Structure 1
């Protein structure tokens, strides 16, 4: 993806003094310290930002139907994702330019993820190299490091990134498929967004630029044959990020090239009025019938949202904006606090819903509510 022009560096940032009570507190704290251009980039969505708002509303619309008098001894958030043990079902979604938020950058985010046992999906538009991020995550009990890709102008450049991710110890590749071009981001244009000096795409230096013009950019749009080629070039499992339609989910499963799907609308940053992820997730799960694991992102701000996501068929969730808002507000420590708060809220939600672990979460914990999302009767004995 083309790098935007550069702008003056933001003012120095200091951590907030107010305690973190809920994840939405991070928005005000980050807004207070971020350069206006950086704030527009990290907080904004596409066009009228309807999908951005709907992502949050869709989780709020779901109502939980808890069970009582369950045996909660041994309560744990531990789970597995595609066979990989996790301390909890929380991943950090790929977000570009962390050093635009804080000098700690992606390395600080990775240190926080390692301390809290969270997995991290590193953006190929990261402002610090995958090797440094991998070293920060090389801790006992740390979650996996995955590497996110966009198709590059030359296949050999894409392959060079794949080899670099493999050599750094990444456990999976994530191909973003919902952003062949940038969304129409009014907020960024009003703010005159540009990258500050010293912040750039460290993984893309020296590669061929994308072809000029819209037609040139569209030539980079991934296709199913590109997915098959990429899967054949690597020993790492390949996930697709940005799939919303059940028919595409079935095509991914039928291809035999895809290890899992991330149900995502790019945080409402690409196609405005696209469906919210909480609406798409159960339809994807119903179409797949367990053939591929699902991760979901978009608007997740509470531990109850994590519980709802698992009840709708996800194996884990990915957190986007809150990680970079926490980074801006408090550096690596801020990200660690954010993850701990969300994990603690999820633990409480599990207990109050009558679940001893993520494996106990089922669709019957959701009542038919204002969002109209389908539910099912829980299996006998659960």
Structure 2
């Protein structure tokens, strides 16, 4: 299968999903906060990166193996957490997990998932839990404990949601038609009605240490755009900093992740003992985007909406998505003169408008 053909196929997944999904579900997946400026600019931000390929390199063998929190993945990209996966396809998180496992990648499971953690873990996928901190910290403990018992190997602590960003909606919202069984099945009964169950508006670095001590797992902090915040998180014990603007669903007009990544990566490399990793999401839709993320300093790129669009076609379509991304990335690295994800930093260094 030609890489160019699959590139066009990947670009068409969103329109295929638009035609297949109920309008409120598609709108929920697609929409950003406010006027949607940050959400709409994400893909173009990756396209704006320009590379300086290297030559006279032996690129017969390209090895995509990537170490993420001490575990080897077959590829330098993974699946970001998204809600309502069972609204995209009945198999939901199970299809997403099976495809990620087959690709040798990993999956981050939303705390709002509609599939029990034990069932996700039984697929054999390497997975992390995405979690929010509630006002009453103790309310988070049962969910975290269940995730640890089911085999989660890290906790992704979302930092950018003290309140949920307002979405401008021009039609019926998904919540009016939603089957309650499609989400939050791993929470205790009555959790949402409990006092102080709302997301904490007073997050601090001590919350990072608390989650790490409670679970015994590495903590990844997600939603960081400022280098100073990244340093504070690393100094508080975060194992990795995830550059994210929540898919443009929180503060509209926030900087794109492609723009924020280089400064955050530099800050993280110089913080602590230098072992903390850097991840990024936000509009990553192709092998070239993944190489761009690697070249700007990310250890791993995470995919949000693209796997959701592919999920509409179930596990088979997700398999094809992974295969297409891998083929594109291998070709991009070869053309850039790189044999590994790490070499992308040297072989595909972005340039400024002023030149080299």
What TM-score do the two structures reach when normalised by structure 1?
Answer: 0.85
State the Cα distance separating 1:217 from its structure 2 match: 4.0
Q: 1:115 to 1:219 in 2, by over 3 A?
A: closer
State the Cα distance separating 1:219 from its structure 2 match: 4.1
Which residue of 170, 181, 192 corresponds with 1:209? 192
Partner of 2:159: 177
Partner of 1:273: 253
CA contact (8 A) 2:234 2:241 kept: no
Moved segments of 4+, more than 3 Å? 18-22, 215-221
* Equivalent position SS for 1:147: strand
Separation in 1 of the partners of 2:217 and 2:86? 28
Could you tell which deviates more after superposition, 203-212 or 110-119?
A: 203-212
- Deviation string, structure 1 residues 333-375 (Cα, Å, up to 9, x no partner): 11111111111111110111001111212156234246x8xx9
Which residue of 339, 343, 351 corresponds with 1:360? 343
* Equivalent position SS for 1:295: strand
Which residue of 305, 311, 317 corresponds with 2:289? 305
- Deviation string, structure 1 residues 71-124 (Cα, Å, up to 9, x no partner): 113222112123211101111000011111111110111111111111100000
Q: Does 1:251 align with 2:238?
A: no
Partner of 2:223: 242
Separation in 2 of the partners of 1:219 and 1:104? 32
* 1:222-237 equivalent positions in 2, closer than 5 A: 222-237=203-218
- Deviation string, structure 1 residues 294-341 (Cα, Å, up to 9, x no partner): 01000111111111111111000000001111111x111111111111
Q: 1:231 to 1:210 in 2, by over 3 A?
A: farther
Q: Which consecutive unaligned segments of at least 5 residues does structure 2 have?
A: none
* Equivalent position SS for 1:165: helix
Q: 1:116 to 1:351 in 2, by over 3 A?
A: same
State the Cα distance separating 1:196 from its structure 2 match: 2.2
CA contact (8 A) 1:75 1:351 kept: yes
CA contact (8 A) 1:154 1:208 kept: no
Partner of 1:327: 311
CA contact (8 A) 2:121 2:150 kept: yes
Separation in 1 of the partners of 2:197 and 2:282? 29
CA contact (8 A) 1:68 1:354 kept: yes
CA contact (8 A) 2:131 2:157 kept: yes
* 1:85-234 equivalent positions in 2, closer than 5 A: 85-136=72-123, 138=124, 144-187=126-169, 190-194=171-175, 195-197=177-179, 198-209=181-192, 217=198, 219-234=200-215
CA contact (8 A) 1:61 1:369 kept: no
* 1:15-34 equivalent positions in 2, closer than 5 A: 21-34=8-21
RMSD: 2.2
State the Cα distance separating 1:19 from its structure 2 match: 7.6
Separation in 2 of the partners of 1:335 and 1:131? 21
* Equivalent position SS for 2:122: helix
State the Cα distance separating 1:201 from its structure 2 match: 1.2
Could you tell which deviates more after superposition, 312-321 or 289-298?
A: 289-298
Instruction: Provide the aligned length of Structure 1 versus Structure 2.
Output: 346
- Deviation string, structure 1 residues 130-185 (Cα, Å, up to 9, x no partner): 1111111x1xxx5x210110113533331111111111111101011111211111
Which residue of 216, 238, 244 corresponds with 1:264? 244
Q: 1:210 to 1:269 in 2, by over 3 A?
A: farther
Q: 1:207 to 1:340 in 2, by over 3 A?
A: farther
CA contact (8 A) 1:326 1:334 kept: yes
- Deviation string, structure 1 residues 33-66 (Cα, Å, up to 9, x no partner): 1001101100111111111122112111110111
* Equivalent position SS for 1:274: coil
Separation in 1 of the partners of 2:37 and 2:194? 31
